[in-house]
Each structure stands twice: as structure tokens, then as C-alpha cells.
């Protein structure tokens, strides 16, 4: 492995994770198989070759091409044999349906939201599920592949991410988006992946709402978070949310 971008990504991940006092060589990564989460996975394996990495795919019931994600997992395992890489899928389709899908019409009628915020409910459920998964395994570090270039997406805005960070703080877990600024553009990500010998061509699963992006203001996002979390708590009171 060589190349400036790969070395930069690996150095960032190593520095970010090494700062955490609770790092014991194990981490959970919210993993789709797409370029961003794969870049985090590859950089992690290079930075901590004899560690453990639990790749966690949250299936919201709206995904297709999941076989692509599994192929990406196999590629990572072949490239980084020294790292113990596990892969698990958590299906949350029922909660997604009740907390998100069934609420779409009401959102526009009752709350008068100006945009579709279904991805916010998905990311909430995804993170709450990751907390439960990590807690069951006694793992203190959760990673994701959030990227600076997508910060206008409702589920990746500063106000959403701050809410999620507060949830993690309350649980005592460390939550990092280690390559957030590095993943500023697709070209940079693709170069780094190529330098780490990772082929990302058409590997990411496809969500039914992948092309439904619309901007939203902070007030709407905050209101949506509050009402969605109330529903999720009713459905599963044990979840940390």
C-alpha cells in the first residue's frame, strides 16, 4: 500500500481513535459497503492491523443489492487478514415502517414539514441499534462514514449529528466520524481507496429513498427528531434514545 491520500486517511483514523481513552482494539463501524464507510474500514485496518472490527449493516427494509455489501466485506477480509473482521446485519424494517413510513402523510398534514425527512428516522434507528449492538458486546467505540460533502442532507446536518453525539455521551460510548473532513469529495475518497487496493465499483446497496434528498431547516429537523424519538421509545423502551 502506498500513496499520499491513503497515508493521510490512515494517519487521521489512527490519530482520532488513539485519542480515545477507552479504545481496547475493538470497534463497531456502521457499514453500508459504500465508498465512505469502506474508506473508514480500510484505513482502520491499516492503522490497527491486529485489532477487531465489527461491520454492522442496518437493514431498514428498503434496501436492495445487499449482496454487494457482503462482497465488500469479503474483499476487506482478504486484504486485511491480520484484522479480525466480523459482519452482522440488523433488520429494523418493522420499526422503520412504524416510526417513519407510516408517519409520512401525517408529517406533512399535521407538522407541515416542507421536505421529506424519512432519512432522519432511518439514521436515528440506525444509531440506536448500533448502541444496543455495541453494548451487548461490551465495545466502547462506534464509527461511521459521515462525510463533509453530505452535510446538507437532513440526517447529516450539524443539528442532527449533535443530537446523536449527545445520545452517545449519555451511554458512555465514544462515537467518531474519523474521516468526516477527509471525505470532502468523491475523487479524494476514490484515490485513497485505490491506493489501499480497495475496489468500490457498484458495491453500495441501494435504498428506495436514495434519490429523495431535499434540504430542511434546523427547526423542522429538531421537531422531527423529537416526534420520531417519542414513537421509537414507545416501540422499544429499552433502546437508548
pLDDT in tens, 7-30: 999 999 999 999 987 789 999 999
CA–CA gap between residue 91 and residue 82 (Å, rounded): 29
Q: What percent of the chain has pLDDT over 90?
A: 69
CA 157, 22, 52: angle at the middle one, nearest 5? 85
What are the tens digits of pLDDT across the range 152-178?
889 989 999 999 999 999 999 999 999
Q: Which residues contact 40 (CB under 8 A, 6 or more apart)?
A: 13, 29, 143, 144, 145, 178, 179
Please report the domains of the chain, with CATH numbers, ordered by start residue.
4-235 (3.40.50.620)
User: What is the reported pTM?
Assistant: 0.93
Confidence tier at 200 by pLDDT (50, 70, 90): confident
Distances (CA, A) of 174 to 29, 93, 139, 166: 12, 26, 9, 11
What are the tens digits of pLDDT across the range 115-138?
889 999 999 999 999 999 999 999
CA–CA gap between residue 133 and residue 30 (Å, rounded): 11
When pLDDT is averaged across residues 143-155 and rounded to a whole number, the result is 90
CA–CA gap between residue 150 and residue 57 (Å, rounded): 20
CA–CA gap between residue 19 and residue 171 (Å, rounded): 19
Amino acid at each position: 500500500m502506498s500513496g499520499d491520500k491513503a497515508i493521510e486517511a490512515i494517519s487521521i483514523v489512527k490519530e482520532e481513535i488513539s485519542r480515545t481513552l477507552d479504545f481496547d482494539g475493538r470497534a463497531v463501524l456502521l457499514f453500508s459497503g459504500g465508498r465512505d464507510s469502506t474508506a473508514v474500514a480500510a484505513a482502520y485496518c491499516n492503522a490497527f492491523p491486529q485489532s477487531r472490527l465489527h461491520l454492522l449493516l442496518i437493514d431498514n427494509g428498503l434496501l436492495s443489492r445487499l449482496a454487494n455489501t457482503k462482497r465488500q466485506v469479503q474483499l476487506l477480509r482478504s486484504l486485511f487478514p491480520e484484522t479480525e473482521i466480523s459482519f452482522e446485519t440488523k433488520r429494523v424494517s418493522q420499526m422503520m415502517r412504524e416510526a417513519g413510513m407510516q408517519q409520512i402523510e401525517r408529517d406533512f398534514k399535521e407538522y407541515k414539514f416542507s421536505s421529506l425527512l424519512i432519512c432522519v428516522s432511518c439514521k436515528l434507528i440506525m444509531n440506536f441499534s448500533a448502541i444496543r449492538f455495541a453494548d451487548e458486546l461490551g465495545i466502547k467505540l462506534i464509527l461511521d462514514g459521515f462525510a463533509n460533502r453530505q452535510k446538507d442532507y437532513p440526517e447529516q446536518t450539524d443539528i442532527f449529528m449533535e443530537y446523536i453525539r449527545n445520545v452517545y455521551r449519555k451511554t458512555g460510548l465514544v462515537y467518531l466520524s474519523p474521516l468526516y473532513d477527509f471525505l470532502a469529495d468523491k475523487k479524494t475518497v476514490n484515490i485513497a481507496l485505490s491506493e489501499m487496493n480497495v475496489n468500490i465499483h457498484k458495491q453500495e446497496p441501494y435504498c428506495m429513498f436514495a434519490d429523495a434528498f431535499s434540504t430542511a431547516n434546523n427547526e423542522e429537523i429538531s421537531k422531527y427528531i423529537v416526534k420520531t424519538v417519542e414513537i421509537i421509545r414507545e416501540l422499544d423502551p429499552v433502546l437508548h434514545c
